[in-house]
Copies of this chain bind each other. A is one copy, B any other.
């Protein structure tokens, strides 16, 4: 069994991006990080993004509207960033306060600056295999983990558990693409699936994005499977100072011995998302320069 080391792969990508950005003369790529209010998790996520940007040489512009900002004011803020030629990518940190229509806000971000890949147009481009779009960071990170671990999906059966808009559906569309490394046969399972174990046991590559701790057990996989565990769940654990431990959607202790390759949680898919966000930002810069 080989561990797919997300920290290592993400660090490699950061190193590559740093070298790429160093080659850019003049204005460097710039990401606007919009964080509304002081949600502690959001503070920590935005800080991590800012830190990684600095490491690569991507300029970050931190914008911290108060939690009381109105929908109209937030829209106006995004319109200004959309129009600003020195901003290449825009990230609006989720979750937003309850009085804000989050979907409407994500749609307000110009598709050309949508480095989070949540815009409808960018999702359509994933389906159309149009490389001018942006792929959401988690599914893009999964594909990168597979590619850099030497897993070619061609002709292999990829079983995705979970049909969410930010992971399950886009990763299924990516695995199905005609480009090198993809070309997988794809099955998408979800809460209405009957006899799930019979399907997951067919997987050459199993992508678990369910959001239920340790849901995938040893009896649900076949020996030699490649496992990508997208889940990050908090499970109460009195032996920890925090009172909880982090676990994936896969029961690691029993599944790992059967797998040929597997991502740990934490340290698998998680670290990839910030790296992919930066990759998208540099891409947005390049596309912007070419326009």
Interface residues of A (CB under 8 A from B): 119-125, 127-128, 130, 154-157, 163, 165, 169-170, 172-173, 176, 183-190, 192-194, 199
**Can you name 19 A-B pairs with beta carbons within 8 Å?**
A119-B124, A120-B125, A120-B130, A121-B124, A122-B124, A123-B123, A123-B128, A124-B127, A127-B165, A127-B169, A155-B194, A163-B176, A169-B176, A184-B192, A185-B188, A185-B190, A185-B193, A186-B187, A187-B187
Is A185's CB under 8 angstroms from B176's CB? no
> From A182, which residue of chain B is reached at the shortest CB distance?
B192
Question: How many whole Å from A38's CB to the nearest CB in chain B?
Answer: 30
Is A183's CB under 8 angstroms from B176's CB? no
A127, A154, A155, A163: most-surrounded residue (chain B CB, <10 A): A127
Residues of B within 8 A of A193 (CB): 155, 185
Is A185's CB under 8 angstroms from B187's CB? yes
Provide the bound-state CA to CA distance between A123 and B126, in Å.
Answer: 10
> From A186, which residue of chain B is reached at the shortest CB distance?
B188
**Which 4 residue pairs across A and B have the least CB separation, nearest first?**
A124-B124, A120-B124, A123-B124, A183-B192
Not counting A124-B127, A127-B165, A185-B190, a sample of 13 additional A-B residue pairs whose C-beta atoms are within 8 angstroms of each other reads A120-B124, A120-B128, A122-B124, A123-B124, A123-B127, A124-B125, A128-B165, A176-B190, A183-B192, A185-B187, A185-B188, A185-B193, A186-B188
The count of identical subunits is: 2
Provide the bound-state CA to CA distance between A144 and B125, in Å.
Answer: 26
Provide the bound-state CA to CA distance between A188 and B157, in Å.
Answer: 10
Provide the bound-state CA to CA distance between A194 and B157, in Å.
Answer: 9
Residues of B within 8 A of A156 (CB): 194
Provide the bound-state CA to CA distance between A169 and B170, in Å.
Answer: 12
Provide the bound-state CA to CA distance between A122 and B125, in Å.
Answer: 11
> From A119, which residue of chain B is reached at the shortest CB distance?
B124
Provide the bound-state CA to CA distance between A13 and B190, in Å.
Answer: 32
Residues of B within 8 A of A173 (CB): 127, 169
Question: How many whole Å from A169's CB to the nearest CB in chain B?
Answer: 5
Question: How many whole Å from A213's CB to the nearest CB in chain B?
Answer: 23
Residues of B within 8 A of A186 (CB): 187-188
Residues of B within 8 A of A123 (CB): 123-124, 127-128
Residues of B within 8 A of A124 (CB): 119-125, 127
Is B188's CB under 8 angstroms from A176's CB? yes
> From A169, which residue of chain B is reached at the shortest CB distance?
B127
Question: How many whole Å from A284's CB to the nearest CB in chain B?
Answer: 17
- Assuming A120-B130, A125-B120, A165-B127, is B192 touching A154 (CB within 8 A)? yes
Provide the bound-state CA to CA distance between A128 and B165, in Å.
Answer: 7
Question: How many whole Å from A228's CB to the nearest CB in chain B?
Answer: 18
